[in-house]
Structure 1
Amino acid sequence: MYTIKTLNNIAECGLNIFNNENYKIDNDSQSPDAILLRSFNMHDMVIDKNVKAVARAGAGVNNIPVSNYTELGIVVFNTPGANANAVKEIVLTSLIAASRNVFAGISWTKSLEGKGDEIPKLVESGKKQFAGKEITGKTLGVIGLGAVGAHVANAALALDMDVIGFDPYISVDVAWNLSRNIQRAMTIEQVFANSDYITVHVPLTNETKGMFNKESFGLMKDGVTILNFSRGGLVNDADMAEALESGKVGKYVTDFPDEKVLKMKNAVAIPHLGASTKESEENCAIMAAREIRDYLETGNIKNSVNFPNAEIPYTGKKRITIFHKNIPNMVGKITSGLSNYSLNIADMVNRSRGEYAYTIIDIDNEVGEDVLSGLETKLNQIDSIVSVRII
């Protein structure tokens, strides 16, 4: 039986994936087989050596010490695309509302409370200060064409916008689903220079941190609107405040408010609502639970942020999974270890990701538990092997 521990409230439809005799959900367990969470901060958490997998019901994994778990042989999953529609909808809502000055207009209208019968007249005389722009025919630049960015780009086309997209790492699956009418930018500078509105959908890394800064603002059109529903750290706050004050940036809409953002002129701060829908939470919970279940039961990996994705159809044969350093002759050492036990390989896959690799081997023989136990011990003695599981 596998024990699952949750660190946040997880949608019931996700937990139902574990509703059988093979699983037990025990949130007090100190040595679960897998952990399911949303935003819980795991950086200061002591994790038991029995934990085999951690799955975040969401896309970002900043709250998980991924590199530490990699060294321990713990696979970390996320749920890319499960909340894409929710984020797409709030991006489009914010795009239109910012363009039409809806946010500022609502705030001003609220300030009229107490004016009684004067309110209709005040509204008619004051509304001109909130005259906005229509988005039809304007150009939206989309930086990052993953699950969310691709949804946004296609939807913006349907709203009669011109769309220019940039993503040097676009996947084949996403490319197939993108409209052919989306213009492809060869450099990010092309997006900066040609867009009336810019929305960003990339992870926060050393390369992307502060990518919206004084230099990039200098390449943009005057009065550009920037929407950030990815990570606050993508924007240099000091440079953004200066650009808003001068009018170089007309509006900044962000889902990641802090003290600096709240003080910025023409900044719209949304309380991190991007994926906060019932449907999104359910989709993420179901995907995360399925990832854990498939890994525990078959060793197959999909949507990992630290292990390579690797899958072999599971036929019920004995399966050996090995996480190891990505160095020469590792597969040879592993298969040699199997041959010492006269084990035949029915199927095998080896995938690498950076410094590490993951190998799945199906065994053709009928073998006893004593043989498998001896094999596991022998494999673990091979230098550069991090973890071994026999399923």
Structure 2
Amino acid sequence: MHRVLISDPLSEEGIKPLREADDIEIIKETSMSHEELLEAVGSAEALIVRSQTQVTREVIEHGTHLKIIGRAGVGVDNIDLDAATDNGVIVVNAPDGNTISTAEHTMAMLMSLARNIPQAYHQLQQKRWERKKFVGVELKDKVLGIVGFGRIGREVAQRAKGHRMKVVAFDPFLNEEKAQKAGVTHGTLEEVLQQADFLTVHTPLIEKTKHLINEEAIALMKDGARILNCARGGIVEENALYEAVKSGKIAGAALDVFEEEPATEHPLLSLPEVIATPHLGASTVEAQENVATDVSADVLELLRGGTVRNPVNLPSVSTEMMEKLSPYFTLSERLGSFVSRIAEGTFEKINVYYSGELLDIDTTPLTRIAVKGILGRYIGSRVNDVNAYKTAADKGITINEQKSTKTKGFTNLITVEIETDKETRSAAGTRLNGLGARIVQLDQYSIDIVPEGHLIVIHHTDQPGAIGRVGSLLAEQDVNIATMQVGRANEGGEAVMVLTVDKAIDKQAADQLSEIADIRQVDYLTLK
């Protein structure tokens, strides 16, 4: 008999398959103290939670029989993934269960925002009948700008088209061909901001998307545009939005999420042009049933010796294989992360090449980690070693792995190459005895850098004074150069310099670097 502990409220219909299973014993306790949880998890083979239970390393280590942790929802911030992996526990989630509910909630907010429905109802509650005060706007022929065109973004687009809106979308993985198939217009982020009458965001909250819709972004928008956020608090910079609504630049906003929740005292709620709900995007009977059903299915499958559909962490590998692969994990991920930050355009193909002592081992886990490093820039922790291939496939990206006897003089060599609709970029790395991971080639240029910390990659023309001007400008910005590597194809031709600096540079400094004579492109990134 397999014992399953459920420590958060879940849909009874969703866990029905577990209840009906002859080989499953369910313990459902949804108001346990931390000490009670530690005791209860000791005999459980599976733990199912939502966002309430904090599954810490201590909890996992007390679960000496645990095989699987199920998160009935998308985010796994409340689960210590490293601790789960260290203890051989698979973590699964339910990434698709709330897609429809969130898309529908977005449309409900869109309609309410356009027609002032909450404000008008509030006036009726105050015994006021003020029709002229709440003149709205029609959706027909308006432009809906969608930032983030994943599952939810696509569902919102289909519904908006039903209202005869014009949809323009931005996503790092969206190109013209994919946009045409979806029946929307593809645009850059700037184009979407400039064209949108209504702007809705549907991205994960990661470093790249935090405060994506900030003061500068709002300044690009039409006067009188409206903004919606039913995705994650923090994508829209709330102070900037407050000032924009207060000034009239933005006609209104609809928010389901905030940076800090609960947000009952938030200044935005004092503005009559703002409508809000308390994080209800996934709060439907169907969504709660769906996520519980999906997680229950994975738990049941694993406990019976099967394979899960939605793993979030790295499954166990043999000790022998781990000894061979583990020295290359960090190198693979950082190569992917590095090249993803210098490649321009929509990603279409990822090629990973291996040579040297890597020829005779299964390098698939390394390729997965490299893909994770590439996609993580845009998707964050939602992409992992296990689902990297599927995530890439969902984005229309082809993955190719090849092995070669050509080592270019290195005992081992990993090359990660990205093909986009604009260019092909690559970075090669190796592990040197006693020196660890190094990036030894960038495109056609030979370099030698440690793939960590704050890096500036500068493409320039090989002319006297270029390096000195870069050094002087950074000195003026109080940015210390730790290391510098320069590579060139030929004298006086195209060249690259890669700088390791002690702190990140801001956009202003990067722009100033770009304005230096003979410099063609500047990329700045942090690898950690």
Rounded Cα–Cα distance in structure 1 between residues aligned with 2:41 and 2:235: 37
Match of 2:295 in 1: 288
Amino acid at match of 1:227: L
1:347-362 to 2 correspondence within 5 Å? 352-353=368-369, 354=372
Match of 2:21 in 1: 20
- 1:296 to partner: Cα distance: 3.4
Change in 2 beyond 3 A, CA 1:51/1:350: farther
- 1:351 to partner: Cα distance: 7.2
- 1:30 to partner: Cα distance: 2.5
Rounded Cα–Cα distance in structure 1 between residues aligned with 2:306 and 2:366: 12
Work out which of the residue numbers 279, 282, 297 in structure 2 matches 1:275: 282
Match of 1:30 in 2: 42
Amino acid at match of 1:5: L
Rounded Cα–Cα distance in structure 2 between residues aligned with 1:350 and 1:293: 29
SS at match of 1:251: strand
Change in 2 beyond 3 A, CA 1:139/1:32: same
Do 1:210 and 1:235's aligned partners in 2 also have CA atoms closer than 8 Å?
yes
Rounded Cα–Cα distance in structure 2 between residues aligned with 1:49 and 1:305: 20
Match of 1:386 in 2: none
- 1:297 to partner: Cα distance: 3.1
- 1:132 to partner: Cα distance: 0.7
Rounded Cα–Cα distance in structure 2 between residues aligned with 1:262 and 1:64: 32
Match of 2:4 in 1: 4
1:180-219 to 2 correspondence within 5 Å? 180-185=182-187, 187-219=188-220
Change in 2 beyond 3 A, CA 1:42/1:331: farther
Do 1:81 and 1:148's aligned partners in 2 also have CA atoms closer than 8 Å?
no
Do 2:74 and 2:94's aligned partners in 1 also have CA atoms closer than 8 Å?
yes
SS at match of 1:281: helix
Query: Can you give the 5+ residue segments of structure 1 that lack an aligned partner in the other structure?
Result: 113-121, 309-319, 336-347, 359-391
| CA offsets 1:25-52 (integer angstroms, 9 cap, x no match) | 1243424222212221415562224323
SS at match of 1:284: helix
Do 1:140 and 1:156's aligned partners in 2 also have CA atoms closer than 8 Å?
yes
Work out which of the residue numbers 31, 39, 62 in structure 1 matches 2:51: 39
- 1:321 to partner: Cα distance: 5.6
Amino acid at match of 1:195: A
| CA offsets 1:262-283 (integer angstroms, 9 cap, x no match) | 2345221202211111111111
Q: CA RMSD in A?
A: 3.1
Q: Tell me the TM-score normalized by structure 1.
A: 0.73
Change in 2 beyond 3 A, CA 1:65/1:210: farther
Aligned positions, number: 319
Rounded Cα–Cα distance in structure 2 between residues aligned with 1:293 and 1:349: 26
- 1:196 to partner: Cα distance: 0.6
Amino acid at match of 1:165: A
Amino acid at match of 2:7: L
Corresponding position: 1:148 with 2:152: yes
- 1:286 to partner: Cα distance: 0.7
Do 1:144 and 1:167's aligned partners in 2 also have CA atoms closer than 8 Å?
yes
Match of 1:52 in 2: 67
Larger displacement relative to structure 2 (217-226 or 38-47): 38-47
- 1:109 to partner: Cα distance: 1.6
Larger displacement relative to structure 2 (67-76 or 7-16): 67-76
Match of 1:137 in 2: 141
Larger displacement relative to structure 2 (250-259 or 132-141): 250-259
Amino acid at match of 1:95: L
Pick 1 or 2: higher relative contact order, CA cutoff 8 A, min separation 6: 1
Q: Tell me the TM-score normalized by structure 2.
A: 0.55
| CA offsets 1:308-344 (integer angstroms, 9 cap, x no match) | 8xxxxxxxxxxx9659565567996799xxxxxxxxx
1:240-319 to 2 correspondence within 5 Å? 240-256=241-257, 258=263, 259-260=265-266, 261-298=268-305, 300-307=307-314
- 1:298 to partner: Cα distance: 3.8
Do 1:326 and 1:352's aligned partners in 2 also have CA atoms closer than 8 Å?
no
| CA offsets 1:130-178 (integer angstroms, 9 cap, x no match) | 101000000111122222111111111111000111222469xxx69x8
| CA offsets 1:325-382 (integer angstroms, 9 cap, x no match) | 65567996799xxxxxxxxxxxx99973348866xxxxxxxxxxxxxxxxxxxxxxxx
SS at match of 2:123: helix
Corresponding position: 1:223 with 2:224: yes
Rounded Cα–Cα distance in structure 1 between residues aligned with 2:85 and 2:240: 36
Rounded Cα–Cα distance in structure 2 between residues aligned with 1:292 and 1:322: 23
Do 1:60 and 1:203's aligned partners in 2 also have CA atoms closer than 8 Å?
no
Rounded Cα–Cα distance in structure 2 between residues aligned with 1:254 and 1:246: 18
Rounded Cα–Cα distance in structure 1 between residues aligned with 2:226 and 2:81: 34
Change in 2 beyond 3 A, CA 1:265/1:131: closer
Do 2:205 and 2:235's aligned partners in 1 also have CA atoms closer than 8 Å?
yes
Match of 1:363 in 2: none
- 1:183 to partner: Cα distance: 0.9
Do 1:307 and 1:357's aligned partners in 2 also have CA atoms closer than 8 Å?
yes
Do 2:313 and 2:385's aligned partners in 1 also have CA atoms closer than 8 Å?
no
Rounded Cα–Cα distance in structure 2 between residues aligned with 1:105 and 1:203: 33
Corresponding position: 1:101 with 2:126: no
Rounded Cα–Cα distance in structure 2 between residues aligned with 1:234 and 1:110: 33
- 1:228 to partner: Cα distance: 0.8
| CA offsets 1:85-144 (integer angstroms, 9 cap, x no match) | 1112111111011111112111112111xxxxxxxxx62xx2111101000000111122
Identity score, percent: 31
Query: Can you give the 5+ residue segments of structure 2 that lack an aligned partner in the other structure?
Result: 29-39, 329-356, 374-383, 387-528
- 1:305 to partner: Cα distance: 3.1
Rounded Cα–Cα distance in structure 1 between residues aligned with 2:132 and 2:101: 32
Change in 2 beyond 3 A, CA 1:43/1:241: farther
Do 2:174 and 2:186's aligned partners in 1 also have CA atoms closer than 8 Å?
no
Amino acid at match of 1:352: R
| CA offsets 1:184-218 (integer angstroms, 9 cap, x no match) | 12x22221111111111111112211112111111
Rounded Cα–Cα distance in structure 1 between residues aligned with 2:81 and 2:248: 40
Larger displacement relative to structure 2 (226-235 or 53-62): 53-62
SS at match of 2:10: coil
- 1:72 to partner: Cα distance: 3.8
